[in-house]
Amino acid sequence: MSIHPLAAVSPHALVGNNVRIGPFSVVEPGVEIGEGTTLASRVVVRTGTSLGRDNIVCEGAVLGGMPQHLHMPEFPGRLAIGDGNVIRENVTVHRAMEADKVTRIGSGCLLMVGAHVAHDCTLGNNVILTNNTMLGGHVSVSDRAFVSGGVAVHQFCRIGRLAMVGGLARIRQDVPPFVTVDGGSTMVVGLNRVGLRRAGFTPQQLAELKEAYRVIYRSGLPWEEMLDSLEEKFTSGPAAEFLTFFLGGHARGYVQERRTPPGATVRIVRDEQESAEQDSTLVEAEKMAG
């Protein structure tokens, strides 16, 4: 254990082996810090917070702060953080509102500079929140979701597994698993193909996800019929998670698809021979101009 002499660590905190705490950091009573965790300088870990093993918490982060609420609870809940997370500079994570509730962050997550996680949020494993992401209270972000910079997520919204949310999006409804949300329009623009490929999904699984996506966004079915179709066609595998996600939702609804507006220019894909001929012509023209 290495605690800088300018750090203030309560004797009533539980600090594991091989923990490193930098100067001007504050660890309050009742905190639990798992072995191998590093707190850089100026980190504040408030009462009611527990960190697992091998976490890295960078300068200026505040973990376990009181909820930002007009009616401040007399007995707030806790903050529980798993193992192997990287929490970058000036991140803020708040405790739950009620004594028996928990704000929870899983393991292997990356919270980049200035991200904010409000009270009663739940983050799964391997979640990435990029710079200045803001999660309102009671937000749920599932495993391996990627939330880009400057995204604001309204309270009580859910972001599904392996979803990707583009920068500066304003999330006011649930984001289904496996999809990509465009930051400019805050609408779904297809499956998160890059994330799915990196996660090792098989061609068969990708084909089923694509088919399920069409049922949800392209079939035009009413809500109940769409759910019935998902239940009938996708009984196992990742595609079955769509139904589970929708059944676990609430009245806020889910993010809709961005469709090509009427009258928009249709993109024509050139065939390989035509493309090669045009590229060759362009090269010759550039040589002559040079």
Q: Which amino acid makes up residue 193?
A: R
Residue 171: is it exposed, middle or buried by C-beta count within 10 angstroms (0-12/13-18/19+)? buried
Catalytic residue among 82, 124, 137, 160: 137
Cβ pair 131, 108 in contact under 8 A: no
> Residue 106: helix, strand or coil by DSSP?
coil
Q: Let me know if 150 is a catalytic residue.
A: no
Residue of 22, 94, 114, 120 marked catalytic: 120
Angle between helices 223-233 and 203-217 (to 10 degrees): 160
119 counts as catalytic: yes
Catalytic residue from among 94, 116, 119, 138:
119
Checking 176-184 for CB contacts under 8 A at 24+ apart, the result is 176/216, 176/242, 176/245, 176/246, 176/254, 176/255, 177/142, 177/238, 177/241, 177/242, 177/245, 178/209, 178/213, 178/238, 178/241, 178/242, 179/213, 179/255, 181/255, 182/258, 183/148, 183/151
Which residues 6+ apart lie within 8 Å of 174 measured at CB? 157, 158, 159, 160, 245, 249, 252, 253, 254, 255
For residues 177 and 146, give the distance between their C-alpha atoms in angstroms, rounded to a whole number: 11
Q: What are 125's two structure tokens?
A: 């494993």
Token pair for residue 63?
Answer: 């973990």
* DSSP H or E stretch at residue 92: strand 92-94
**Can 279 be counted among the known catalytic residues?**
no
List residues with catalytic annotation. 119-120, 137
